[in-house]
């Protein structure tokens, strides 16, 4: 089902640390290797089943599920999540800041460097190579 190791350990009646140790110390063969392989395979199958169910719900018109998939899937969240939109906005702001600094011929290299440090201190992080 794709359960976390703590849940698998509880189902087996052992402590999570014990199960983790068994799996991490598994050799190329033996019971520990079989257990580790079965857990990995089960978790992969669980992940596939969950993604398949989410995908079906999204395809069937469940907009919230579709939104969740777009904002949480590693392949899609970079372009669709609110955090990605915020990173793009910050990058655009930084690019505008660098462009203004570069377009100011009255600034000496030392003044540009100091300006960059002040921007960094204020939480802005334009590419320092662009301001040198």
Percent of the chain with pLDDT over 70: 93
Cα(65)–Cα(51) distance, integer angstroms: 11
- 71 neighbors 81 (Cβ within 8 angstroms): yes
Cα(16)–Cα(8) distance, integer angstroms: 8
**DSSP percent split of the chain into helix, strand, coil, nearest 5:** 75, 0, 25
Structure confidence by residue, pLDDT tens digits, 72-113: 777 777 777 777 778 778 888 888 888 888 788 888 888 888
pLDDT score recorded for residue 129: 56
Domain boundaries, the chain: 1-77, 81-132
Element (H, E) at 73: none
Q: To the nearest whole number, what is the mean pLDDT of the chain? A: 83
What are the CA-CA distances from residue 125 to residues 91, 100, 115, 116 (Å)? 9, 14, 11, 8
- 11 neighbors 18 (Cβ within 8 angstroms): no
């Amino acid at each position: 089902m794709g359960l976390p190791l703590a849940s698998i350990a509880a189902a087996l009646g052992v402590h999570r640390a014990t199960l983790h140790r068994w799996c991490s110390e598994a050799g190329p063969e033996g019971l520990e290797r079989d257990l580790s392989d079965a857990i990995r395979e089960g978790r992969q199958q669980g992940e596939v089943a969950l993604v398949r169910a989410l995908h079906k719900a999204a395809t069937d018109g469940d907009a919230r599920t579709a939104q969740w998939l777009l904002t949480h899937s590693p392949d899609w969240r970079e372009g669709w999540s609110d955090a990605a939109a915020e990173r793009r906005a910050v990058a655009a702001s930084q690019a505008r800041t660098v462009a203004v600094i570069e377009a100011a011929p009255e600034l000496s290299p030392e003044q540009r460097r100091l300006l960059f440090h002040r921007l960094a201190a204020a939480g802005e992080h334009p590419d320092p190579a662009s301001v040198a």
